[in-house]
Amino acid sequence: MPTRVLGNISLSNFVRGPAKYFDLGYNVAATAQRQGLMTEAASGVIRYDFAKVELLRVSAAYLPHNRHSARLLERLEFTGEGNPREL
């Protein structure tokens, strides 16, 4: 059975000390979108890091026109903190 990558999750900009947070990035292959795979994967990564690394915060950003990404972050219980300025 061939193996194929359906997406990936990246954790970057780890900040240790009192702040304890990281930035979450992700992408999903077009053929695997809207199946709940990234919700499940990202949720597991976030739960693990909050429990094992004792994180206090996770941040993520998305392009305003990407409503699927916005919905994913809503399902993961992220809260909005601002929008970039129009250039």
What pLDDT, on the 0 to 100 scale, is given for residue 9?
96
Please give the C-alpha separations between residue 59 and each of 6, 8, 31, 35, 50, in angstroms, as whole numbers. Answer: 23, 17, 26, 23, 13
Instruction: Say how many Å lie between the first and final Cα of the chain, rounded.
Output: 48
pLDDT at residue number 86 = 65
Give pLDDT, residue 84: 67
pLDDT tens, the chain, 87 aa long: 778 889 999 999 988 888 888 999 999 999 989 999 999 999 999 999 888 888 889 999 998 899 999 999 999 999 988 776 665
Query: In what side-by-side order are the strands of the sheet with 7-15?
Result: 7-15, 21-28, 57-59
| Tokens 């219980």, residue located | 77
- State residue 60's pLDDT score: 94
Q: Are 11 and 22 in contact (CB under 8 A)?
A: yes
Q: What is the pLDDT of residue 87?
A: 57
Domain range annotation of the chain = 22-75
Chain position carrying tokens 């993961």: 76
